[in-house]
Structure 1
Amino acid sequence: GRRISPDGLFAGSEEGFDTMRYSKPEVERIAHVAFKAAQGRGKHLTSVDKANVLETSQLWRDTMNRVAKEYPDVTLEHMYVDNAAMQLVRAPKKLDVLVTGNLFGDILSDEAAMLTGSIGMLASAALNEKKQGLFEPSHGSAPDIAGQNIANPLAQILSAAMMLRYSLDMPEAADKIENAVKRVLAKGYRTGDIWSEGCKKVTCSEMGDAVVAALQ
């Protein structure tokens, strides 16, 4: 919100303020989703917070530790958000599943997207506790390039793979789609956002057709 500061060094000046609030049931819900996701991958979960500064993060960390006892097969690691931002650049392969709040997640997800070379490569899913969700590229729509057949379709295609894996319990089908994308990229096909010298520049539809052809 905004108000005129009633006291302090800047009394009488306009100030803005926000309140971050998390309840234990809210954190428990996302914790279970994260632990289950980790069980289906490398069984390693990194919880990102700022527990050395924020009371909400201290609640977050305490709750994660409690829920972790229900998932003894998953290794839980805690990491401060500033360190997590650095580790995503320094050693991204040491991280697998990350769980964090909305603010930190909004920032870290875009940083992680660029590890793939383009935000057009990053699939996303917004899931509830019943594994129902919305699956879409993390970048949303791109009205500035609509109708030009130049968008990168891989994030949308990989979002469909996430739907198969996390909502429909069809991991084999998800693997087929993800492997098809890998094969197409290995052949050097690139849309404009990820193109570089020596690669074959293709349109959105050509990339989609190539992925379909690579499905096995």
Structure 2
Amino acid sequence: MLTAMTKVKSVLLAGLIIVGFAAQTGKAHAASTEVLTVAGGCFWCVESDFEGVKGVKEVVSGYTGGTVSNPDYRQVTGGGTGHYEAVQIQFDPAQIDRDQILSMFMRSVDPTDAGGQFCDRGDSYRTAIFYNGDAQKAAATKAKAEAEQELGQSIVTPILAAQNFYPAEAYHQDYYKGTKLIVTRFGPKRQSEAYKRYRASCGRDKRVKELWGASAPFVGKH
């Protein structure tokens, strides 16, 4: 009987150890990912920029900052929802920190433009940084101050408390590398080619280069 009880206790103890290890692993996994939410005009472009950055795990296009629940693309770009086209950047802080992400973000947009970004005009295309917690707020404030000092111009990008983030429709995700054939003003094009034409014609990289010069992290990479 003693031997049987000892075996039972051993099995229970092993089970508790496994559960504890799994819980610790889960916590470690959660701690290895941080999410920053930013708005930089067309979310296709911001997604394209950051998905190639080492340490970035995923970038999701979506809508945030407004008052309408579960908005769609037409509602947001049509105005009146208060939402921005935005992205959530999921990254590993052990490989790249929030200061680096935010510095790169500021130098990938025109933060002096309050009316939109490049050829895309209207409230949904404005820039913004949405913080979650004091540490992100401090990092955003620092990034904005450094950008303002480097440019010698007033930065209009607001720093806002994070709100509900609504992922955009499936066809917007990874649009820049899509293979679907679509009809555009340039004629029938694969999504990836249409995206490149759009980005060039919108003047995004040209304007960013004018503003930031060699500090622009993504110019020439598309």
Q: TM-score, normalised by structure 2?
A: 0.35
Higher relative contact order (CA 8 A, sep 6+): 2
Normalized per residue, the structure richer in strand is 2
